Amino acid sequence: MNKKKIYSTWFLVPALTIFIVFFLTPMALSLFFSLTVWDFNGFTFCGIENFIMFFEEKSLRIGIRNSIVYAVLTCVFKLGISFFIALFLTSKIKTKTIQRSIVFFPNLVSTVAVGITFTALMHPSKGLFNKCLTAIGLPGVDWLVNPDLALFSVIGVEVWKGLSIATVIFIAGIQSIDKTYYEAAVVDGANFWQRVRNITIPLSRSAMNSIILLSFIGGLRGFDLIWSMTGGGPGFATDVMASIIYKQYLSGFYGLSTAGNVIMLVVIMLIAFPLQKFLLSREVD
Amino acid sequence: MSRKSRIRLLIGDVVGMVACFALFVVPFIFMLVNALKDRKAANRLSLAWPENPQWSNFVEVLEAGNYQILTAFKNSTILTVGGVLCLVICGSMAGYVLQRRSDRVTKAANALIMTGLMIPAAILPTIWVLQTLHLYKTMTGMILVETALQIPFTVMLYRGFISSIPVELEEAAVIDGCTPGNLFRTIVFPLLKPVTSTLVILNAVTIFNDFTNPLYFLPGKDNITVQVTLFHFMGQFSSSYNLLFADVLLITVPMLIVFLIFNNKIVDGMVAGSVKG
């Protein structure tokens, strides 16, 4: 049978057209426009000046560092915490269905709404977090006001919101593990933690890899939570690559903004692609 | 089950529920109670129950900026429905051919589309492309951009699901004289219902909650979407938390309804999708 005739190439055309025109073309163009000073009506070529500026200006450079810190920390915490939640929610407890739903719900709430709520909870004098701290005799914390702390406060909220998806993926991974492994381990006298270490962790590695990649890349691209909680402030303390791209766009520096986009692309390619290769090579079948 | 392990499970239940409540439910209660307080009480940002619920907060939010939020809901609905339709149609067709055929064309197409899972969108050049095509600041343009951004994930899930459908059905249909178009429309597509419903929900949530892209590609009052209004309200109502939270609540309600109706389906679908993906 002629496969090309039944599964006609025409079926690919709509998806490919939209993807090429609205995703790949802009990406290719960004490589060019990042070398220019431009607006939507014209451009002047300026070489790699935008990139030099990006690395020389402290307020721009900090974005690259913050994005990497943000991506690494959110990824590590999401992975660690969601593993234990998933472990807990795949055990024999009775209320696991309802608990799964509750854990999943933050995933449906918009990031901006989460940002607003947590900004209020982290209010320096009136916020619930600080009230709880003072109630047990601890001094309040300037969650979003202290420049050294603000990024970590946002990271905490990002972890809170991202746990849901990571947990669901982990639950799927853990549930797909063949039960006979556990039974055999019990017969051999392995205790709970030994079973977790020697069966659950290695056999849910593909779920783990999905979570690492998803949250790492998501973290490098992160924008809306940071923008709705701090707007990059105080000062430039929580500026990440994506928020710098937006700020430069607002101030009309389109070349710089596009250069920021290209840097983000390069950072992702330099870190995420090798990471993916490494993770896939360690996956067991 | 021994008595000891039963007690341990019970403790697990209690601890789990308390932790869930403190971590995930309290923030939503916080939104709710503050949305119902008057301005002065809400600005205290406490978790106390409102003394006399101010339902008028919601009316005030609806009326703000000349019923801006209603326009926003209309726009977000068009965007979400349009985007999801586009994604289901284009994504299922592409995923189908990419799974069934394995030659140079499909391999290249697959590799191309999958780059979209990792690479970030180049924003300003996208605006340039939209402007060149006269689609900037239009709903059509925005729908196409959302489609382009979500197509890799959609195609991946469809491709994974189609691999579980036996190919014999299609062979039989072709022998009976079915054309490729009819074959897909009447036989294959109906079989994709489980993954389609998961994708409809996931993509609808993503597009409805999208803030960044409408911020860039749909500026202007007439094109405003709900997430962008929420962001504007944050500046506008910074001293009246009651209205701000009433707005947050109004915008969360559609998702809450989706959640209550499709709760199990979402989680099951995600589980199925992520195993295959």
pLDDT digits (tens, 9 = 90+) for B86-126: 999 999 999 999 998 888 888 999 989 988 888 888 989 99
- The per-residue pLDDT for B177 is 86
- Give me the residue spans of the domains in chain A: 64-281
Q: Tell me, yes or no, whether B166 lies in a domain.
A: yes
| Residue B151 in contact with partner chain A when CB distance is under 8 A | yes
CB–CB contact A254 B183 (8 Å): no
For the CA atoms of A142, A148, A149, A151, the dihedral, rounded to the nearest 10 degrees, stands at: 130
- The per-residue pLDDT for B267 is 64
Whether residue B276 is predicted with pLDDT greater than 50 in this model: the reply is: no
Q: Which of B149, B121, B145, B122 is nearest to B133 (CA)?
A: B145
Q: Tell me, yes or no, whether B20 lies in a domain.
A: no
CB–CB contact A22 B145 (8 Å): yes
- The per-residue pLDDT for B129 is 92
**Three-state SS sequence of chain A:** CCHHHHCCHHHHHHHHHHHHHHHHHHHHHHHHHCCEEEECCEEEECCCHHHHHHHHCHHHHHHHHHHHHHHHHHHHHHHHHHHHHHHHHCCCCCCHHHHHHHHHHHHHCCHHHHHHHHHHHCCCCCCHHHHHHHHCCCCCCCCCCCCCCHHHHHHHHHHHHHHHHHHHHHHHHHHCCCHHHHHHHHHCCCCHHHHHHHHHHHHCHHHHHHHHHHHHHHHHHCCHHHHHHCCCCCCCCCCCHHHHHHHHHHCCCHHHHHHHHHHHHHHHHHHHHHHHHHHHHCCCC
Q: Tell me, yes or no, whether B234 lies in a domain.
A: yes
By residue range, what is the domain housing residue B229? 67-276
CB–CB contact B47 A4 (8 Å): no
Taken in order A30, A241, B205, A216, the sign of the CA dihedral is positive
Rounded average pLDDT over A103-114 = 86
Cα distance from A82 to chain B (closest Cα, Å)? 13
Q: Specify the CATH number for the domain of residue B106.
A: 1.10.3720.10
Nearest-Cα residue of chain A relative to residue B135: A22
pLDDT digits (tens, 9 = 90+) for B33-48: 888 888 777 777 777 7
Cα distance from A57 to chain B (closest Cα, Å)? 21
Residues of B in contact with A103 (CB under 8 A): 20, 24
Q: Which of B262, B252, B244 is nearest to B64 (CA)?
A: B244
pLDDT digits (tens, 9 = 90+) for A137-146: 888 788 888 8
Cα distance from B56 to chain A (closest Cα, Å)? 21
Q: How buried is residue A274: exposed, middle or buried, by Cβ count under 10 Å (0-12/13-18/19+)?
A: exposed
Domain count, chain B: 1
Residues 101-130 of chain B with CB under 8 A from chain A are 101, 103, 105-106, 109, 112-113, 115-116, 118-130
Structure tokens at B165: 């459908």
Q: What is the ipTM score, two decimals?
A: 0.86
Rounded average pLDDT over B139-145 = 93
Average pLDDT, chain B: 85
- The per-residue pLDDT for A137 is 80
| Residue B220 in contact with partner chain A when CB distance is under 8 A | no
pLDDT digits (tens, 9 = 90+) for B179-194: 888 888 988 899 888 8
Using CB atoms, which residue from A101, A105, A116 is nearest to B244? A116
Residues of B in contact with A98 (CB under 8 A): 17
Q: Tell me, yes or no, whether B35 lies in a domain.
A: no
- The per-residue pLDDT for A1 is 56
CATH of domain A64-281: 1.10.3720.10
Q: Tell me, yes or no, whether B183 lies in a domain.
A: yes
Q: Tell me, yes or no, whether B214 lies in a domain.
A: yes
Using CB atoms, which residue from A7, A128, A213 is nearest to B45? A128
Q: Tell me, yes or no, whether B136 lies in a domain.
A: yes
How far, CA to CA in Å, does A101 sit from each of A164, B261, B264?
Answer: 9, 12, 8
Structure tokens at A66: 């913050």
How far, CA to CA in Å, does A242 sit from each of A58, A236, B270?
Answer: 16, 13, 28
pLDDT digits (tens, 9 = 90+) for B226-256: 999 888 888 877 778 888 888 888 888 888 7
Whether residue B275 is predicted with pLDDT greater than 70 in this model: the reply is: no
Separation CA B19–CA B15 (nearest Å):
6
CB–CB contact B212 A16 (8 Å): no
